[in-house]
Structure 1
Amino acid sequence: MSMSAWKRAGVALTATAVVTGLAGCQDGDARSAAEAPAKAAAQGLEDVTKALTAAFEKTSAAKSAKVSMTMSMEGVGAGSGTVTMTGVQGWDPAALDITMKGSLLGAGNPDAPEQVRMIMRDNVMYMDLGAQAAAKMDGKRWMKIDMKAAADATGDKNLRKQMTGGLENMNQDPAQQLALLLDSPNLKHVGAEKVNGMETQHYKGTLTFEQMLKANKSSKLLSKEQYDELVANVKKTGLKGYDTEVWVTEDGYPARMDVGMTMAQGTVHMRADYTDYGAAKAAVRVPPAEDTVDLFKMLEEAGRTAEG
């Protein structure tokens, strides 16, 4: 694969990875009456910030959890549909072992599998292509996608950061989402609610696309031209912001997180339910080497054959 092709892949992955009171008053003290609502609102925001900061610290320390996620799209891109992802997720370091199912998985391809298992560890992604594909690849059913090795082969340090950083950002952990929500200018406490049988406190806020992009590590790897182009393209979609909600348990961990996006063409909604924080630290294991096919080595060999 040519250097320009590697660069395009790195930029695309980066952009993709770049796929969140009441107060009494006393007569005769008009100034206190006027200031009371503002003070109550400030105290309420302080309490919300304190609660979510504590949840962020506990979630960061847990480093893993079991996750069940649903993403639904309506009128966006190829159309409408849903996809579900269940499994385990780790952060610091990033790791993932999930099974994906749903109508969005095929994206209009009648030969697409009904489900796909994906494993990520050490910046390497593995995709289970299924028994049918394995029959055509000497029984090897796992496709290995090593972004670091591919970037190293180009000798371009910036490209390496883009490609590996983009892969890491595919694994959006709940601690990072809490950190983003804390930046919301309209953060508020909705109230007590029960989620999956657990008592929780419900919080919500909205973030603009620019705020989300600023918080995303991969955006720092884009050149000014690439950054401006990405912002311009997103603005064309009509995306105003990300409506983010979180339900925090009495133990201080997120039980559920919702992110909603509304664009001119349609809507996207993502819901993630989390359990067993800290229990999945050693649960992500990669497939044996003898069962894997390296995607980028295949592309290199195909390129050499074409050049020959």
Structure 2
Amino acid sequence: MSGQHKRIGIGAGVVALAALAMAGCSSHGGSSAAPAPGTGSQGDGAAIALVADAMDQAGKADTVKITGTMVTTGQSAMTADLSAQEQYSPSLEMSMSIGADGQNISDVLVGSTIYLQYPGLSTLTEGKPWAKIDLDKAGGSAGSLSTILSQAKNYDPTTQLSALLATGDVSEVGQETVDGRQATHYSGTLTSAQVLALGSSQAHLTADQVAQLQSEFKAAGIKSEAIDLWVAADKLPVEIKIAQQASTTSVKMDMHLSDWGAKVNIGAPPADQVFDLTGKLGSIGMGG
């Protein structure tokens, strides 16, 4: 496998893992009350209240299973099919299979350690099928990977939905069928101006969440983010789409959500199948 494919394999897997974590529908902290009249100018109060209720229901589940797709354009162009299970409370743990760039990649996130498996990895791991990167030990050699996953682990996955509720830009589209279930479709759009105008005190966001959302929009040059959400009769989300437009890139995600609250089996691979790649990140071009 060429050095370029080494970078694509590891980078694509970790970025997809982090992006998926940020796109989930768990809910931690913040009030579930709808914004006061007049906080937003585009949405309707009933839709806002119903979406807030769905977020609360999802937040009580603690686990979810996800399948979907992610397409990015620009310098990090990638098309990926995703299948994952996530525990988002009391701590974030995930396992995911990704089909991207003609490769099949498996990722597991447990604590601060990422485990990766994909074809050709054995050239870096002395023949072992799994590599691990311990971000606590990697320090600066992990480069942007450490930053990405740090954000994912400290980021409430409902922040974008919460920001929509805070700005009041949520509307009901209508009744549709998702995965054989009747669901209500809601939509809204976050603009850079709306996000940067958010104050530190919001109905659905903590001050830290506001700061991180604003930092994300600034750092990535995000201009707008369109969000579509489908909620079933049990008040749990069954699909979420996010279309993010930045200065030089775009990201589109379509995630189908199921098995809320069901037991998930997430754990590190057997130790004898794992090679510690943490100390080799710089030598394979991961530092940037």
Matches within 5 A, 1:6-25: none
Q: RMSD between aligned alpha carbons?
A: 4.2
**Residue 119 (str. 1) matches residue 119 (str. 2):** no
One-letter amino acid of the counterpart of residue 261, structure 2: G
1:100 matched residue in structure 2 = 98
One-letter amino acid of the counterpart of residue 168, structure 1: K
Structure 1 regions of 5+ residues with no counterpart? 1-12, 21-37, 104-112, 154-160, 303-308
1:293 matched residue in structure 2 = 275
1:77 matched residue in structure 2 = 75
* 1:162 CA drift (Å): 5.5
- Greater helix share, structure number: 1
Q: Is the 8 A contact 1:17 1:218 kept in 2?
A: no
Segment of structure 1 superposing worse, 144-153 or 253-262: 144-153
2:132 matched residue in structure 1 = 144
* 1:295 CA drift (Å): 2.0
Secondary structure of 1:240's counterpart equals strand
* 1:133 CA drift (Å): 3.1
Who wins on radius of gyration, i.e. which is larger? 1
Work out the percentage of aligned pairs sharing the same amino acid.
22
Structure 2 regions of 5+ residues with no counterpart? 1-13, 24-36, 199-204, 284-288
Decide whether aligned partners of structure 1 residues 198 and 148 sit closer, same or farther in structure 2, where only a CA change above 3 A counts. same
CA distance in 1, matches of 2:109, 2:193: 28
CA distance in 2, matches of 1:167, 1:78: 18
* 1:148 CA drift (Å): 2.0
Could you state the TM-score of these two structures normalised by the residue count of structure 1?
0.64
One-letter amino acid of the counterpart of residue 274, structure 1: L
CA distance in 2, matches of 1:121, 1:211: 34
Decide whether aligned partners of structure 1 residues 117 and 17 sit closer, same or farther in structure 2, where only a CA change above 3 A counts. closer
**Residue 90 (str. 1) matches residue 87 (str. 2):** yes
Matches within 5 A, 1:51-200: 51-74=50-73, 76-77=74-75, 79=77, 81-92=78-89, 93-103=91-101, 114-130=103-119, 132-134=120-122, 137-151=125-139, 165-168=150-153, 173=157, 175-200=158-183
Q: Describe the superposition over 1:139-162 as per-residue Cα deviations: whole angstroms up to 9, x where unpaired.
A: 322111111233499xxxxxxx96
Q: Is the 8 A contact 1:185 1:207 kept in 2?
A: no
Could you state the TM-score of these two structures normalised by the residue count of structure 2?
0.68
CA distance in 1, matches of 2:99, 2:151: 23
CA distance in 2, matches of 1:72, 1:172: 22
1:34 matched residue in structure 2 = none
Number of matched residues? 241
CA distance in 2, matches of 1:17, 1:283: 19
* 1:77 CA drift (Å): 2.1
* 1:69 CA drift (Å): 1.8
